[in-house]
Amino acid sequence: MNVTPLGLLAAPLLAGVPAQRAQASSGQLLTACRLAWENGGRLVALWASDERDRGRGYCLRVVVEDWEGLTVLEHTLPDDRARYPDLSPIFPAALRMQRATYDLLGIAAESDDPRAWLWTASHATRQFPLRRDVASGEAAPDHDAYAFVRVEGEGVHEIPVGPVHAGIIEPGHFRFQVVGEKVLRLEERLGYTHKGVESRFASMSVDDGAKLVGRISGDSTVAYAWAYAQAVESAVGFVPPARARWLRALCLERERLANHLGDIGAIGNDAGFAFGLAQFSRLREDVLRMNEAAFGHRLMMDAVIPGGVARDIAFEHVHAMIDEADRVARQIASLREIYDEHAGVQDRFRNCGRAAPDLARHLGLVGLAGRASGQARDIRCDFASAPYDLLDVRIATQTAGDVWARVAVRFDEALESTRLIRLVATALLDPVTAGPVHAPGPALPPDRLSLGYVEGWRGPVLVALEMGDDERIRRCRPQDPSWCNWPVIEHAIVGNIVPDFPLINKSFNLSYSGHDL
């Protein structure tokens, strides 16, 4: 995005993708966001840091993405009485990020929603956990006081669901306003898995941070670890060994494949097709067992580390992965036919939980769900970094925006991942790619913001990193795509029936932990 006409001075930013940063006044912040929106841009992240110890008050950072790359807009607030402009009229997804920023840091937008989002305890005590001078109090959150918006009228009633759910899933609360079976309104209440990840990062070493970042959302551990490694490496312009980059892509595609297989089965099950769950959970288990054999961990936690990868894989496993990719691809293709021809499954999938492309664009739907609603963005294609620049990833898109479309995109992407796994594994057998898989990078200098940006299976994962003076992390902000996508479910469910909610929710399959932090 060219911000010069707005009077902003853009400087290049250290990141794994093209990126720039610019200081903006509150007026410029609004204008820049509006310009980004008009140019097809989307909101990626919004967070703030306490910079009072450096005499700079609080620093709000807003990351927007357009076709040219990322732009980080920085806005300084002199103290906690100052307000920054409410960005939710431009980017609706900003609202919850703004509320969370107040919960954790005590600086507020000029917004009219004062309700706590992640951490209610700080509102009464004014002990904001991300402030550098916070006293560690024994604050206890008060959940019963949350004011849900209610619908009133004849025959309208309310159904509270959660935070403990029937299945083995993460905790969250859903408040339905219904007439008969029909949903008039859904309001989500998240934050139950808020475990203070951001404050935990402060003063961690780079290596300890790598362990923590891999456990922000367990299903996306590779995506987070890679984004973090990218942020660490780009801060000092360090390029990891070529073989490590191939192995990272192998891990990321295996993670995508495993999650898509699990989801396609589980979504089938939610539509009453237990056969699908049995078949796809078997395939997923095969992939995880191969991960265990090759990387020593079923989910590949701690496989990607700053400087490269933790270990090389044996040639026998590379060969086995090529065979596995072919086998899984054949199975996916024949099971897809069964899904497509099953009248009952198709009846549940079609027109269910629809987020039309214009709604998706307006609300800023990202990642896999975005691609199912006509938002054709994929970091692996748009800002392909090594080795994706050699792989020519085929983006999968649909425009129906319903459960069917999200399943179709998963089928396409799972197949594409098997193709990529085959390509990457073949490249790993080539003597040209032989070599070390890890190299220690130089120590990180303080006060230097850097970004990592990786297309995880769910969507774009951003990690922003800034080091302190003592080679310890000063601030690390991981941003899950779920922040942008959770609000869309509230819209996609309207007009559907309550029993379709589990199906719709699973078709988005958003992270609670990655969002609650």
Residues at the interface with another protein (CB under 8 A):
119, 121, 129, 136-137, 139-141, 143, 163-164, 166-171, 191-197, 199-200, 211-212, 215-219, 221, 262, 275, 278-279, 281-282, 284-285, 288, 292, 298-299, 301, 334-335, 337-338, 341-342, 511-513, 516
Query: Bridge-partner residues for 460, per DSSP?
Result: 455
In angstroms, what is the minimal distance from the CB of 482 to another protein?
Answer: 11
Helix, strand or coil, per DSSP, at residue 65: strand
Q: How far is the CB of 481 from another protein (least distance, A)?
A: 14
DSSP-derived secondary structure for 269-287: HHTT-HHHHHHHHHHHHHH
Residue type, 10: A
Q: For another protein, which is the closer residue by CB, 85 or 456?
A: 456
Nearer to another protein by Cβ, of 49 and 291: the residue is 291
> Residues for the chain: how many in total?
517
Taking the least distance from each CB to another protein, the nearer of 202 and 247 is 202
Q: What are the backbone angles phi and psi of residue 171, rounded to the nearest 5°?
A: -90, 140
- Helix then strand count (H, E) for the chain reads 17, 16
User: For residue 460, with 0-12 CB atoms within 10 Å meaning exposed, 13-18 middle and 19 or more buried, which class applies?
Assistant: buried
**Cα(first)–Cα(last) distance of the chain, in Å?**
30
Separation of CA 134 from chain center: 28
Tell me which residue of 206, 252, 226 sits closest to 462, measured CA to CA: 226
The three-state secondary structure class of 498 is helix
Q: 10 Å Cβ neighbour count for 504?
A: 23
**d(C-alpha 474, C-alpha 231), whole Å:** 14
Nearer CB in complex with another protein: 265/374: 265
Cα–Cα dist 13/20, whole Å = 5
* Identity of the residue, 132 or 182, whose beta carbon is nearer to another protein in the bound complex: 132
- By beta-carbon proximity to another protein, the closer residue of 242 and 335 is 335
Q: What is the DSSP string of 411-433?
A: HHHHHHHHHHHHHHHHHHHSGGG
Strand 69-77 to 83-84 pairing: unpaired
Q: Least distance from C-beta 434 to another protein, angstroms?
A: 32
SS3 76: strand
Q: How far is the CB of 144 from another protein (least distance, A)?
A: 9
Q: Determine which helix (DSSP H) or strand (DSSP E) holds 211, and give its type and residue range.
A: helix 206-213
Which residue, 143 or 157, is less far from another protein as judged by CB?
A: 143
Q: Which is nearer to another protein, 17 or 300 (CB)?
A: 300
Query: At its nearest, how many Å lie between another protein and the CB of residue 215?
Result: 4
Residue nearer to another protein on the CB measure, 243 or 458: 458
Interhelix angle 315-341/242-270, nearest 10 degrees: 30
Nearer to another protein, 116 or 363 (CB): 116
CB of 117 to another protein, least distance (A): 11
Give the integer Cα–Cα distance in Å for 284 and 368: 19
Here the contacts of 38-41 (C-beta below 8 Å, separation 24 or greater) are 39/1, 39/66, 39/67, 40/66, 40/67, 41/1, 41/65, 41/66
Cβ at position 33, least distance to another protein in Å? 30
Lay out the sheet containing 450-455: strands in order across: 14-15, 450-455, 460-467, 473-479
- Report the greatest alpha carbon distance in the chain: 73
Q: Which is nearer to another protein, 85 or 276 (CB)?
A: 276
- Tokens in use for 265? 């089965």
Closest separation between CB of residue 128 and another protein, Å?
10
Q: Smallest distance from the beta carbon of 338 to another protein, in angstroms?
A: 5
Shortest Å distance, C-beta 312 to another protein: 23
* Shortest Å, Cβ 98 to another protein: 19
Residue with smaller CB distance to another protein, 54 or 143: 143
For the bound state, the minimum distance from the C-beta of residue 225 to another protein, rounded and expressed in Å, comes to 12
